[in-house]
Every structure is written in structure tokens, then in C-alpha cells.
Amino acid sequence: MDFYIRRNRDIQFRFEVKDPRALEEMLTELTPSQKAEMEAADRERKAVEEKVWQYIEANHKNDLSGNPITRETHEIGYDYDWREREDGLHVGVPVVGWIRPKKSEYDL
């Protein structure tokens, strides 16, 4: 997977839930196998991100504003492609990785 250096450009949506119980009914408990699968995926993600950080630190990379990229000031994220599995669950598969400042340049 390729990683790109980005600026902050998130779009956020806010909404109000009039009946929180309706939202709770949509959420189901994870099975032990689903929990184990999520934990394994999280470990794999952290291992990949550690390799990315090591590469950045070894090569002294800068962001698009010319600032040094560090763990303290930048974050790694992903654009996902959502797919339905054979068991009916939907999973997000990362298709693009990116690195951007934690604090947006547009924050006042």
C-alpha cells in the first residue's frame, strides 16, 4: 500500500439522534471470533504503522508545509473501501494510507 502526505481536509457531519435506543438496537455484541479478528487486525495495523514511522524518522521527511513529520505532530490514517463479507458483515479494507498533521492548518 502506498502512503501519501496530506493536508487536513476532512469533511465532518453532525446529526442528532432523537431516540438513542433505536441506535443502540442497531449495534450488536461482537462474537469472540469477531473480537479476536479485530484484535489481530489492530496488531497488524500497528506493526505496519511502526514500520512507516521508522522509515520517516530515518529519512527525515517533511509535510506539505515543510514541517518535519513526527509522531507527536502527525498521524497516520487510511481511506477505506467498505465490502460485505460472505457472512454478511461489512468490513473496511484500507486502500490508501496517508500522513497528515494532527492539528489542521485551518484551526485558529
Residue 41 belongs to a domain: yes
Residue 31 is predicted with a pLDDT of: 85
Residue 90 is predicted with a pLDDT of: 82
Residue 26 belongs to a domain: no
Ranking 3-7, 52-56, 72-76, 83-87 by mean pLDDT, the lowest is 3-7
Residue 16 is predicted with a pLDDT of: 79
Residue 82: domain span: 31-101
Residue 12 belongs to a domain: no
Residue 10 belongs to a domain: no
Residue 3 belongs to a domain: no
pTM exceeds 0.75: no
Q: Would strands 74-84 and 3-5 be described as parallel, antiparallel, or unpaired?
A: unpaired
Per-residue pLDDT band for 6 (boundaries 50, 70, 90) equals confident
Residue 81 belongs to a domain: yes
Collapsing DSSP to helix, strand or coil, 81 comes out as strand
Specify the higher pLDDT residue, 40 or 106.
40
Closest CA to 52 of 77, 33, 81, 15: 77
Residue 42 belongs to a domain: yes
Specify the higher pLDDT residue, 82 or 23.
82
Specify the higher pLDDT residue, 5 or 40.
40
Give the mean pLDDT of the chain.
Answer: 86
Residue 83 belongs to a domain: yes
User: Residue 76 and residue 70: Cα distance in Å, rounded?
Assistant: 11
As for how many domains the chain has, the answer is 1
Per-residue pLDDT band for 105 (boundaries 50, 70, 90) equals low
